[in-house]
């Protein structure tokens, strides 16, 4: 699903910013595969986040931990980076001096950081310049709901990725939350997926694989 | 005295002191009624709030409906322990070997004191006067004496409710608690809530019902946890206060080269000690139920407290106790004049691990182990409330279906992830953001008037515009309303509302609800 916008997958040491009214879903879809195969996800200061969404993205609840950082965010984040492969944080908490300070640690620890920016107003270059890749959801289309009829059924949207190192934006049409067995079809046809289990923790010898935490 | 002689069993007499509203009394005084929340549930309240109808276990919204002008504060463990420290030292002056259960609750072995003071009633009088000296007479306390810890904990809770000490004669435990609900056994940590509910469905609701069963039947049907509860119910408490020679039990000590002046680094090193202890015991299939935490400064000032936890100590629970104790000690200005040089945790009582206590996350892979260590570290940084795991709870509204629970409460790797169907809930996809506070919204029609839902469950007119947080947005699609009436039989928890899904022009979708003619935001699909 994300293969078209993130050809290399979600990499360790990378900061991905998700924007737009579907920012949370884009972020969840991004980490879903990694958590499903054994990585741990920390959700820092996302107090209003409803765990039910995790279930819809097939993310196992027992590998997710919510952290309320309080004032000492820098220290808390460094503890989080020690133990978690994937970390989600709202853009309001990840900005400015702090972001610059922990950028080095993110790379050193090999954490994939997903920054959620669902408030389109605070569109400052501050956070944009700090993320390696930006995923923005546009053209959101809800299916199943009409004018006083039906109900929300499925959401289709166009996700555009822009990044410091990618020459031109990549686009992909996707459904979020995914259909129930959307990941099933990926498990056998993609060679790299077979080794996802290993590359997350159980094969210290293949150094290169350890650094990749591909999602799709 | 009847206490020391008469009973044939080796079950010791135990006194438990319990301050029912302790979390509320340590908060600096405020004018309004006061409610203390823990994990979004009421755990304590001042008498005025209680009078208004606030009950333990209520959600924030239910509590505020009963008592709208109340001040709501979160639980503050360190303040609770610190304030309780006065009581503990005062009691320890007349009776040594006080065991702390949690902030606001302690227990002690009655054998010595009964003989010394000449009877259990006299001990109760002494303890009560000492505690009232410290706290003043207006703080409610419960004092219970019975065979074994569990029974005395129940006695103390009943005593808190009837406002006089409760003394259960030796060997009369089962008779005394016959009519009490099994939920009390859960409240004192002797039974899991799942087991309580299972027994409830089988028609076993009171302590007496459980005690009337055959022990072997209980074992075959409910396993060891069932037997543990059974033994409490029948008054055969499973363990004497000290059963194994202390010398055989493990202890860990950490000496600091440089005296440490603040709590955090000490707690941080306690983490290692606790993990080692728990692991060492787990290798032998044991869990510890009682620990002694001691610390010493350069100037030989000492703090030593005994902690008891009937569920058994996990590493996280041990670390909590160390932090509470040190916080209370260091913040008491006169006690400490130099840095800490020694920290010691000794295990003083163990029992076989009957499977009630799961390993902390019980991780198998290296990633699990790393995460478990990070979680323990985060608990010392953010406090037990700052680190939470998602849990299915069940309900029809997004806010009820899943919740975040403190890791120190769960610490198990057993998760039920499927939720029962709950007819009446809005089906998938679920809103991703569910506001913790009530956010008011306005729903307007094409003439700019407020839209409502009629008693027949129909919209009074088409919603055209929604105002959320002062921002007005055009509606491009909507569906509903879906009425919901929940718990109509319960005056306090009943809800009558109608839900509406709207898609706004920027592509965002929201779940709104109208309750008592007012719209609020129930969730956002982000």
CATH no., domain B2-21+78-233:
3.30.70.270
> Looking at domain A15-210, which CATH architecture does it have?
3-Layer(aba) Sandwich (3.40)
Whether residue B9 is predicted with pLDDT greater than 70 in this model: the reply is: no
CATH no., domain B27-75:
3.40.1170.60
Computed over every residue of chain B, the mean pLDDT equals 81
> Looking at domain B246-352, which CATH architecture does it have?
2-Layer Sandwich (3.30)
The pLDDT value given to residue A186: 38
User: Rounded CA gap, B157 and B477, in Å?
Assistant: 55
Whether residue B502 is predicted with pLDDT greater than 90 in this model: the reply is: yes
Cβ count within 10 A of residue A143: 11
User: Rounded CA gap, A175 and A2, in Å?
Assistant: 11
Average pLDDT per consecutive 10 residues, chain A (216 residues; last block may be shorter): 78 85 89 83 90 87 88 88 90 80 84 82 48 84 87 88 78 81 38 34 36 41
Does the distance separating the beta carbons of A139 and B389 come in below 8 Å? Answer: no
Give the DSSP letter of residue B147. Answer: E
Domain boundaries, chain A: 15-210
Token pair of B78, please? Answer: 């360190």
Mean pLDDT, to the nearest integer, of B493-512?
90
Higher pLDDT, B290 or A130: B290
Whether residue B357 is predicted with pLDDT greater than 50 in this model: the reply is: no
The pLDDT value given to residue A66: 92
Domain boundaries, chain B: 2-21+78-233, 27-75, 246-352, 441-525
Which of A19, A36, A74, A79 has the highest number of chain B CBs within 10 A, making it the mutation to test binding with B?
Answer: A79
Burial label, A51 (beta-carbon count in 10 A; 0-12, 13-18, 19+): buried
pLDDT band with cut points at 50, 70 and 90 for residue B366:
low
Whether residue B423 is predicted with pLDDT greater than 60 in this model: the reply is: yes
Q: Which single residue is written with the structure tokens 């195969």?
A: A37
A70: chain B residues, CB-CB within 8 Å:
382, 386
Mean pLDDT, to the nearest integer, of B239-252?
62
Number of CB pairs < 8 Å for A and B? Answer: 186
Does the distance separating the beta carbons of B509 and A65 come in below 8 Å? Answer: no
- Asked if B368 is an interface residue toward chain A (Cβ–Cβ < 8 A), one would say yes
Tally of CA atoms within 13 A in the half-sphere of B5 that contains its CB: 3
The pLDDT value given to residue B316: 80
Whether residue B186 is predicted with pLDDT greater than 60 in this model: the reply is: yes
Mean pLDDT, to the nearest integer, of B477-501?
88
pLDDT digits (tens, 9 = 90+) for B334-345: 767 888 888 999
pLDDT digits (tens, 9 = 90+) for B74-88: 888 778 888 888 888
B398: chain A residues, CB-CB within 8 Å:
50, 52
A60: chain B residues, CB-CB within 8 Å:
417
Same fold, B2-21+78-233 and B246-352: no
Q: Which among B368, B387, B427 is the nearest to A67, CB-wise?
A: B387
Whether residue B146 is predicted with pLDDT greater than 70 in this model: the reply is: yes
Whether residue B333 is predicted with pLDDT greater than 80 in this model: the reply is: no
**Helix intervals (H) in B95-139:** 111-117, 120-135
- Asked if A72 is an interface residue toward chain B (Cβ–Cβ < 8 A), one would say yes
pLDDT digits (tens, 9 = 90+) for B52-81: 888 887 777 788 888 888 888 888 877 888
pLDDT digits (tens, 9 = 90+) for B151-176: 888 888 888 878 888 888 887 777 77
Please identify among residues 87-116 of chain A the ones whose CB lies closer than 8 Å to any CB of chain B: none
ipTM of the complex: 0.80
Query: In chain A, which residue's Cα lies nearest the Cα of B480?
Result: A148
The pLDDT value given to residue A41: 92
Burial B156-186 (b: 16+ CB within 10 A, else e): bbbbbeeeebbbbbbeebbebbeebebebbb
Query: In chain A, which residue's Cα lies nearest the Cα of B475?
Result: A147
Does the distance separating the beta carbons of B526 and A118 come in below 8 Å? Answer: yes
B430: chain A residues, CB-CB within 8 Å:
50, 52-53, 55-56
Query: In chain B, which residue's Cα lies nearest the Cα of A46?
Result: B433
Does the distance separating the beta carbons of B390 and A200 come in below 8 Å? Answer: no
- Asked if A198 is an interface residue toward chain B (Cβ–Cβ < 8 A), one would say no
A65: chain B residues, CB-CB within 8 Å:
371, 375, 378, 387-389, 407
Instruction: Name the nearest CA neighbour of B171 among B354, B369, B8.
Output: B8
B382: chain A residues, CB-CB within 8 Å:
67-70, 76
Higher pLDDT, A140 or B32: A140
Contact indicator for B280, B288 with CB cutoff of 8 Å = no
The pLDDT value given to residue B271: 84
The pLDDT value given to residue B416: 56
Does the distance separating the beta carbons of A152 and B367 come in below 8 Å? Answer: no
Query: In chain A, which residue's Cα lies nearest the Cα of B387?
Result: A67
pLDDT digits (tens, 9 = 90+) for B190-213: 777 778 888 888 888 888 888 888
Does the distance separating the beta carbons of A152 and B479 come in below 8 Å? Answer: yes
The overall pTM is greater than 0.90: no
The pLDDT value given to residue B354: 61
């Amino acid at each position: 699903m994300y293969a078209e916008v993130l050809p290399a997958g979600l990499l360790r040491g990378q900061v991905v910013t998700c924007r737009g009214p579907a920012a949370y879903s884009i972020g969840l879809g991004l980490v879903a595969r990694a958590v499903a195969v054994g990585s741990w996800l920390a959700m820092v200061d996302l107090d209003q986040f409803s765990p039910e969404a995790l279930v819809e993205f097939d993310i196992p609840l027992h590998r997710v931990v919510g952290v309320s950082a309080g004032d000492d965010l820098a220290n808390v984040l460094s503890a989080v980076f020690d133990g978690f492969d994937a970390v989600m944080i709202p853009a309001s908490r990840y900005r400015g001096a702090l972001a610059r300070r922990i950028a080095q640690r993110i790379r050193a620890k090999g954490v994939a950081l997903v920054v959620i920016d669902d408030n389109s107003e605070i569109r400052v270059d501050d956070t944009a310049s700090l993320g390696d890749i930006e995923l923005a959801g546009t053209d959101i289309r809800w299916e199943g709901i009409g004018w006083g009829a039906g109900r929300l059924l499925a959401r289709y949207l166009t996700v555009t990725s822009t990044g410091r190192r990618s020459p031109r934006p990549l686009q992909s049409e996707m459904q979020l939350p995914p259909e129930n067995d959307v990941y099933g079809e990926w498990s056998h046809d993609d060679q790299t997926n077979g080794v996802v289990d290993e590359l997350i923790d159980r094969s210290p010898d293949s150094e290169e694989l350890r650094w990749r935490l591909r999602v799709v | 005295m009847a206490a020391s002689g008469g009973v044939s069993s080796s079950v010791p007499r135990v006194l438990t002191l319990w301050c029912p509203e302790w979390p509320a009394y340590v908060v600096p005084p405020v004018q309004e009624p006061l409610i203390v929340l823990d994990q979004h549930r009421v755990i304590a309240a001042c008498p005025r709030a209680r009078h208004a109808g606030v009950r333990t276990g209520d959600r924030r919204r239910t509590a505020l409906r009963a008592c709208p002008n109340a001040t709501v504060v979160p639980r503050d463990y360190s303040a609770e322990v610190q304030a309780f420290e006065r009581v503990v030292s005062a009691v320890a002056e007349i009776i040594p070997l006080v065991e702390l259960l949690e902030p606001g609750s302690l227990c002690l072995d009655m054998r010595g004191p009964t003989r010394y003071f000449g009877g259990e009633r006299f001990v109760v009088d002494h303890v009560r006067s000492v505690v009232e000296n410290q706290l003043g007479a207006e703080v409610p306390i419960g004092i219970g004496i019975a065979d074994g810890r569990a029974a005395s904990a129940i006695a103390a809770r009943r005593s808190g409710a009837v406002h006089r000490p409760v003394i259960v004669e030796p060997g009369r435990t089962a008779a005394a608690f016959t009519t009490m609900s099994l939920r009390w056994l859960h409240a004192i940590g002797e039974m899991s809530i799942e087991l309580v509910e299972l027994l409830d469905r089988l028609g076993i609701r009171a302590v007496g019902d459980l005690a009337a069963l055959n022990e072997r039947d209980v074992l075959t049907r409910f396993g060891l946890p069932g037997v543990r509860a059974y033994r409490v119910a029948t008054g055969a408490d499973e363990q004497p206060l000290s059963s194994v020679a202390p010398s055989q039990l493990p202890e860990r000590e950490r000496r600091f080269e440089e005296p440490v002046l603040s709590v955090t680094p000490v707690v941080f090193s306690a983490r290692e000690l606790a993990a080692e202890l728990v692991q060492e015991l787990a290798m032998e299939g044991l869990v510890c139920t009682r620990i002694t935490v001691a610390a010493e400064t350069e100037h030989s000032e000492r703090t030593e407290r005994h902690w008891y936890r009937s569920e058994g100590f996990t590493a996280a629970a041990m670390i909590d106790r160390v932090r509470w104790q040190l916080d209370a000690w260091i913040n008491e200005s006169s006690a400490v004049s130099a840095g800490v040089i020694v920290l010691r945790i000794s295990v003083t009582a163990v029992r076989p691990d009957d499977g009630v206590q799961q390993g902390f996350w019980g991780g198998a892979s290296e990633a699990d182990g790393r995460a478990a260590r990070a979680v323990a570290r985060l608990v010392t940084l953010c406090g037990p409330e700052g680190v939470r795991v998602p849990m299915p709870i069940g309900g029809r509204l997004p806010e009820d279906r899943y919740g975040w629970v403190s890791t120190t409460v769960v610490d198990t790797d057993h998760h039920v992830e499927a939720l029962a169907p709950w007819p009446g809930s809005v089906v998938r996809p679920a809103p991703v953001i569910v506001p913790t506070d009530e956010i008011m919204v306005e729903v307007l029609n094409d003439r700019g008037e407020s839209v409502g839902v009629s008693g027949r469950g129909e919209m009074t007119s088409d919603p055209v515009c929604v105002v959320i947080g002062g921002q007005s947005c055009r509606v491009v699609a909507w569906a509903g309303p879906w009425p919901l009436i929940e718990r109509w039989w319960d005056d306090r928890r009943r809800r009558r509302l109608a839900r509406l899904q709207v898609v706004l022009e920027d592509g965002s979708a929201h779940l709104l609800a109208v309750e008592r003619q007012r719209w609020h935001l129930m969730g956002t699909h982000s």
